Structure 1
Amino acid sequence: MCGIAGSMAFGSARPTPPEVLERMTAVLAHRGPDAAGHLLQDGVALGFRRLSLVDLEGGAQPMTGEDGTVAMVCNGEIFNHRELRALLEARGHRFRTGCDVEVVLHLYEDEGPALLDRLNGQFAFAVHDRRRGLLFLARDHAGIAPLYYTTTGGHFVFGSEIKALLEHPGVPREVDLTGLDQVLTFPGLVSPRTMFRGIRSLKNGHRLIVSSDGRVEESAYWDLDYPTADQERADGPPRSDESYGEQLRELLDRAVRSRLRADAPVGFYLSGGLDSALIGALTAQAGPPVHSFSIAFPGADIDESRYQRLMASRIGSLHHEAEFTEDDIAGRLHRMVLHSECPVRETYNTCSLVLSSLARSHGVKAVLSGEGSDELFGGYLGYRFDAGGRTASATGDPLEDALEEDVRARLWGDPSLFYERRYHAWREAKSGLYADALRKSLDEFDCLAHPVVDHRRLAGRPRLSQRSYLDFTLRLSDHLLTDHGDRMALANSVEARYPFLDRDVLDFARTTPNRLKVNALGEKAVVKQAARGLVPPEIVHREKYGFRAPGSPGLLRRDLDWVNDLLSPARIARQGYFDPAVVERLRAEHLREGADLHPHLEDDVLLVVLTFGILLDVFRLPGHL
């Protein structure tokens, strides 16, 4: 993938100067170190940084259409571009390059916004339609490619990363308090919210139409739509369970092969778990040996190198392993925050930085990953809970239970739907972390005050489908794919590709009966069926082991001056976001001998405070006075 940036001037506003556009694209050089391109026309500025993967010599952007009335910048890959190219050539279109994303340009010329229904890929693009005087922007169905935007001073401004927008004059540097509250409450930020006030993240499966008169219209073109319980019961003739496993294997095989298409080296990540092992096995079947990459934690109970090496040996990949320690976390935390553009609750993004650096050092510019399987096929502990038909127990306090149900009704449209935690109780707990002024105004930025998902996608669905939709929307799109996936890979100019998020695989997951996701075989039963004969039984039948890394207790024990300074009462008080006394109590608890945090049951709130402090520094954000 690459990096895009640009703007549209409204009405009589002066167009973005060339030097500003150049600055906006220059800060995205890590996303595209191979080439840069700029176009200014009719008050629209389009900028591009290229990571060349397909048609290395001929894929320069911005691209213009055959009659010059349409121009485009696109960050991403279109995996069905060969089929689309044949269709467009049969219609009479002439291609100037062999680059996959050129099909977007010609599809827009023919079909306008409806082109999105034809694309199978990962992308964020902006098309300038000179005839209609508009910009058309879209983000892929799963949200693999990021896209941010804002309006300021008579301009619509967009980019692949927020740091590009901040180079445009008039874009303020202010903290979005609701964004901070989301990071403390949900798995991470939830689009359209960001950590920067006034800057929005385009939601996955959404598009924008921006008119020169200042109108900005957003709409959905895709969402993960599970059948209702009634639809599932009435769904077609019966099929054998084995046929689902066979179909998933075929779909993943096609998805892997299409993602291996490139004119530059492609490899894959091996975590030691089922999903990456299956992707690795299918990669090995598709052609000559390719590079595989993994992280080892020497001597730690979280080390999975035994399984990584087993799989690499089984498929004959050119395997590379990076050893990781707590020193590596401390040394990479600032760079991780700079690229993620948000505070985090886990340190494993630093592991991802090491992985992508390892890939790049071996000349690999794209990697395949197993992300998405857990969310689509019931891979987390909560799915077992749901499959057993259990619901979260009441506290015995009628008022507390009623308040909790009120929050759930607001968030999910269903007062009985339990997801992740009891949110009303958590609201009370986290409010104590805020500084006094923020604690008193919490109602003004409380992320629990409004829905964060489309209630219509939850209504009438089985519990397991509801959890999958919430995981896909709240955990995958805006956290695992964005700050953890795209950002940590492209920080080292490496593109991450996700076969489990192929549109055909998504459709399969959407229509596969829940009894084939979680059953007597455990979680992801249909994935285990697909992996039979390809992945060693020791990996297929392993207990689910989520990828994790050491948290804030380990960082505190290293007694680093910069960590102590970021968490010092004086600095915390000066910034005005958190209560210094509460932060001090958390520090003392984490410094207790033997102190540690359960990776699934406890929140590393102190790490949020620490990485938020880094965010304030690296983006020169003001304190809250």
Structure 2
Amino acid sequence: MCGICGFTGAPDKPLLERMTARIQHRGPDSCGFYAAPGVNLGMRRLSIIDLSTGEQPIGNEDGTVWTVFNGEIYNYRELRAELSAQGHVFRTASDTEVLVHLYEQHGAAFPSRLRGMFAFALWDTAARRLLVSRDQLGIKPLYYAEHGGELLFASELKSLLARRDLPREVDPEAIDAYMTLLNIPAPRSVFKAVKKLPAGHSIVFENGGAKVSRYWTLPSVEPAPEMPESELRARFLELFDDTVEKHMLSDVPLGVFLSGGIDSSAIAASMARVSGAGIKTFSLGFEDGRDASYNELDAAALTAKHLGSEHRQLFVKPDFAGLLPKLAWHLDEPFADSSAALTYLISKEAVSHVKVALTGIGGDELFMGYPRYLGMRAMRYFSRLPASVRRAFGAVVSLWPESEASGAFSGRAKRFAAGALKEPLDCYLGWISFLDARAKAGLYARGFVPSGDALAGHRNAFAALNPAFGDYRFPLLDVNTYLSDDLLVMGDKMSMAASLELRVPFCDTRLLEFAMSLGAGRHLRGERLKSFLKSAVAGRLPPQLMKRRKQGFMLPLSRWLKEELRGQMADLLSRESVARRGYFRTEAVSALVSEHCSGRANHADRLWALMMLEQWHRTYADGGSDA
């Protein structure tokens, strides 16, 4: 794991060193540079595999191909054996060196052969060609900009900003997307001049021009063959254990983030089986009894005891005065998934004991763990009722009081009712949005008028899915959007902020193909979310865990904003701050604050989004990129 950066054009050592220094947290162990006519490559290394000879940049036998690489290639041993048989000579034991030889053998199409998480840049000296690529699901980030006839790239946006003449005009469409989704989906970034390379894509830069192309898309998968359920579960467990074992490849200590949920517990159980030894587990929760509905410490401790792990707990307090600027700095862009704070804090705790941690990110998408998937199935039947009945239902639930509890039924019922008169896709997009067109009209300032559709990318992604997948199209939509633009961004940047490598076994393409082959019917049985996964791993985990309802990894924001974080909210969302940015009507923001603090409505997500946007401006615009 590391951070990479670079640019085409004449050698510029001071710029390359500034870019590399800004991502030092991604790789505190060492740094490396390669500069030659036409290219500059830089990297910061967090040493995980091949500690003695794995330094970067790495070249091929005759020094005509060079690469810098961020991530892990889990099938590199198989690829290395294949390439050695074809006559390629290796000088190190690292996975990075596989890249230069794959390029020699297969050209720019080789990323499709990689199984892992990666972002890399590769320079072909003879062709004067730069190849930049990102993994299939977007586990590792990659920003780029075309400026002055050259290409700049980096693991994090802050590195690109070391180029002082790079334009920093904020993109209003990106802000609109952020207020809709709490993140800025690729390929946009917060700045017009900078883009994010989408998952499964590559850039080839040569002859002064960049061409972006997709090298991977969701595969066509045959339905799982008819067989006894027990045999299908056995096949899954064999694949799952193999995947987890590959993700445990490391020359340094590793552990697992253990919540009270099925996904991380399944990974921990597999790690214990594969290693044949004790594992290290890490959990966090809240001491205040008022936040009990957000706490999973007891469930995590139950699993840890069952597995015999070396378990550590971290208690989170609402002391965020110094934390928000750090989050804004490391996230690079406005980002309002409050789980980012928790991921950062548990990473800071874990890095004192391990250098690598596995996590359950991706399990909910692949194996249908979100309540909204059941909601879409229920909506098929509900939509058959007369419109008058559906309107009456909506009117009734709108009167229900707000709740601050995690996963409160009243909130879900209100979201369900809001989609009752819409087409299926519009209904689903409404459920995953935090501001609809009507709310934006009331919030946005007169001079702030984004012209696009913030959900256009989602609509296009859904339209590209095979209708034969039926209800499984909704988790596949989430794989293409929410997983890559939110969860994996958060996981990478918050763990790297602590110089910890985070690995995500559920985001393995072979596991994805298996999950796709099952179809929605096997994932949702009756009212049971994640039916197949739960039945497959039930024999490995405490029986009590199977009976727990789905619980998100979230801050108790609603209460905290009324109490402990109220002063910070008042500062960030003061009338002066809101007016200075020009995005929102000051009276509308004040109304959101008033309604939330009085308990008349729960605006926690919207207020957090507004706060993080203002904090981003103070960190990057007001404070400069060296904050």
Which position in structure 2 is the counterpart of 1:7? 7
Match of 1:619, SS? Answer: helix
Match for 1:368: what amino acid?
Answer: L
| d(CA) in 1 for partners of 2:226, 2:379 | 24
Partner of 1:477: 484
Cα contact 1:206–1:218 (8 A) shared by 2: yes
SS of the residue corresponding to residue 57 of structure 1 reads coil
1-side partners of 2:12 and 2:236: how far apart? 50
Q: Distance in 2 between matches of 1:274 and 1:449?
A: 33
Report the Cα offset of residue 455 of structure 1.
4.7
Distance 1:616 1:236, change over 3 A: closer
- Give, in whole Å, the separation in 1 of the partners of 2:219 and 2:441: 35
- In the other structure, the counterpart of 1:526 is 532
Contact 2:168–2:192 at 8 Å: present in 1 too? yes
Residues 182, 434 of structure 2: 8 Å contact kept = no
Which residue is 1:407 aligned to? none
SS at match of 1:222: coil
- Which of 297, 307, 311 is 2:286 aligned to? 297
User: What is the aligned partner in structure 1 of residue 543 from structure 2?
Assistant: 537
1:237-286: per-residue Cα shift (whole Å, max 9, x none)?
A: 52222222222211110111111111111110101100100100011112
- Inter-CA distance 534–367: structure 2 relative to 1 (3 Å threshold): same
Deviation at 1:470, TM superposition (A): 1.4
CA distance in 2, matches of 1:578, 1:237: 54
Which residue is 2:312 aligned to? 320
TM-superposed deviation, 1:540: 2.0
Residues 1:122 and 2:132 aligned together: no
CA offsets per residue over residues 553-573 of structure 1, 9 Å max, x none?
513523665542221101211
The answer (yes or no) to whether the contact 1:553–1:596 under 8 Å persists in 2 is no
| Cα distance per residue 1:49-89 (max 9 Å; x no partner) | 00000011211111111111100000000011111111111
Structure 1 residue aligned with 2:356: 366
C-alpha deviation, 1:622, in angstroms: 10
* Correspondence for 2:261: 273
Using the TM superposition, give the Cα deviation of residue 595 of structure 1 relative to its aligned residue in structure 2, in angstroms.
Answer: 6.4
Residue in structure 1 matched with residue 168 of structure 2 by the alignment: 173
Is structure 2 residue 214 aligned with structure 1 residue 220? yes
Match of 1:257 among 228, 245, 254: 245
Alignment of 1:240-255 (within 5 A): 240-255=228-243
- 1:324-363 matches, within 5 Å, as 324-327=316-319, 329-362=320-353
Aligned partners of 1:457 and 1:469 also within 8 Å: no
Partner SS state of residue 151, structure 2? strand
Distance in 2 (CA, whole Å) between partners of 1:360 and 1:133 is: 40
2:400: which partner in 1?
Answer: none
Instruction: Please tell me the residue identity of whatever aligns with 2:18.
Output: R
Residue 94 (1) aligns with residue 94 (2): no
Q: Is residue 347–residue 550 contact of structure 1 (8 Å, CA) maintained in 2?
A: no
Q: 1:274 to 1:554 in 2, by over 3 A?
A: same
Worse-superposed segment, 49-58 or 376-385: 376-385
Q: What is the deviation of 1:16? A: 4.8
C-alpha deviation, 1:395, in angstroms: 10
Query: Structure 2: how far apart are the matches of 1:578 and 1:388?
Result: 36
SS in 1 for 2:334: coil
More displaced 10-residue stretch of structure 1: 242-251 or 316-325: 242-251
Equivalent AA in structure 2 for residue 611 of structure 1: M
Query: Tell me, what secondary structure is at the counterpart of 1:547?
Result: coil
Following superposition of structure 1 onto structure 2, how do residues 180-579 of structure 1 map, counting pairs within 5 Å? 180-186=175-181, 188-211=183-206, 213-225=207-219, 235=223, 237-287=225-275, 288-298=277-287, 299=289, 300-301=291-292, 302-327=294-319, 329-362=320-353, 364-388=354-378, 390=380, 393=383, 416-417=424-425, 418-421=427-430, 426-438=436-448, 441-442=449-450, 444-448=451-455, 453-482=460-489, 484-520=490-526, 522-551=528-557, 554-558=560-564, 562-579=568-585
What number of residue pairs does the alignment pair up?
585
TM-score normalised over the length of structure 1: 0.89
Q: Please list the CA deviations of residues 305-327 of structure 1 after superposition, one character each: whole Å capped at 9, or x if unmatched.
A: 11110111111111111001222
Q: Relative to structure 2, which stretch is displaced further, 88-97 or 48-57? A: 88-97
Gaps of 5+ in 1: 10-14, 401-413
User: One-letter code of the match for 1:2?
Assistant: C
1:41 to 31, 36, 41: 36
SS at match of 2:551: coil
Check whether the contact 1:7–1:16 (CA below 8 A) recurs between aligned residues.
no
**Contact map agreement 2:561 2:597 (CA 8 A) in 1:** no
Deviation at 1:225, TM superposition (A): 4.0
Q: Distance in 2 between matches of 1:596 and 1:310?
A: 36
8 Å CA contact 1:326–1:555 kept in 2: the answer is no
Residues of 2 paired with 1:236 and 1:256: CA distance?
22
* 1:475, distance to aligned residue in structure 2 (A): 0.8
Q: Where does structure 2 lack aligned partners over 5 or more consecutive residues? A: 392-421
User: Is the Cα–Cα contact under 8 Å of residues 73 and 115 in structure 2 kept in the other structure?
Assistant: yes
SS in 2 for 1:419: helix
1:613 — aligned with what? 614
Instruction: Tell me: CA distance 1:100–1:224, structure 2 relative to 1, closer, same or farther (3 Å).
Output: same
Sequence identity, in percent? 37
Name the aligned partner's letter for residue 497 of structure 2: A
C-alpha change, 1:450 and 1:311, in structure 2 (3 Å) is closer
Distance 2:565 2:527 in 1: 45
Query: Helix, strand or coil for the counterpart of 1:173?
Result: coil
**Against the structure 1 CA distance between its residues 392 and 432, is the aligned structure 2 distance closer, same or farther, given a 3 Å change threshold?**
farther
What amino acid is the match of 1:470? Answer: L
Off by >6 Å, runs of 4+ in structure 1: 422-425
Change (3 A) 1:220 1:319: same
Contact 1:174/1:621, CA 8 A, preserved across alignment: no
Provide the C-alpha distance between the structure 1 equivalents of 2:344 and 2:434, rounded to a whole number of angstroms.
35
Cα 1:188/1:367, change in 2 over 3 Å: same
**Contact 1:139 1:207 (8 Å CA) reproduced:** yes
1:192 Cα offset (Å):
0.4
State the TM-score, normalizing by the size of structure 2.
Answer: 0.89
Contact in 2 for aligned 1:342/1:615 (Cα 8 Å): yes
Alpha carbons of structure 1 residues 535 and 453: separation in structure 2 relative to 1, 3 Å: farther
